[in-house]
Amino acid sequence: MESFEYVRGVLDAYRATPGTCGAIRRADRTFALRLFDRGVPLTVVENALVLACARRLARPADAPRLGVIRSLAYFAPVIDEVLGLRVDDAYFEHLRARLTPLRGQR
């Protein structure tokens, strides 16, 4: 995969993640390119976005509302976490299916 395809894939996944502002900034492109340079698989980034989104949504109903995510770099710790996980892809597919109705919501 070429770097521009990878960056586009990361940014498309970020833009589609519930809870993000949907806008792409230069810093987001730079961060995505750094992930490519590090050799982080696109599936790891996608899984990290799904995991972080699920965690944000799994909060008590009376908890204070979380702000909008305005930077792809917000997900850096979860990307690093997912890199070290030994979890079956079925887990992330389950989370993805649960989040599908929320796609497009900001």
Q: pLDDT per residue over 35-55, tens digit each?
A: 999 999 999 999 999 999 988
The answer to whether residues 69 and 19 touch, using CB atoms and an 8 Å cutoff, is yes
Per-residue b/e over 30-66, b at no fewer than 16 CB within 10 Å? Answer: ebbeebbeeebebebbbbbbbbbbbeeeeeeeeeeee
pTM of the model: 0.86
What's the confidence (pLDDT) of residue 106? 46
Instruction: Domain count for the chain, please give it.
Output: 1
What's the confidence (pLDDT) of residue 101? 63
What's the confidence (pLDDT) of residue 83? 95
What's the confidence (pLDDT) of residue 10? 98
The tally of CA atoms less than 13 A away on the side-chain side of residue 57 is: 20
In the predicted model, residues of the chain with pLDDT beneath 70 are 101-106
What's the confidence (pLDDT) of residue 18? 87
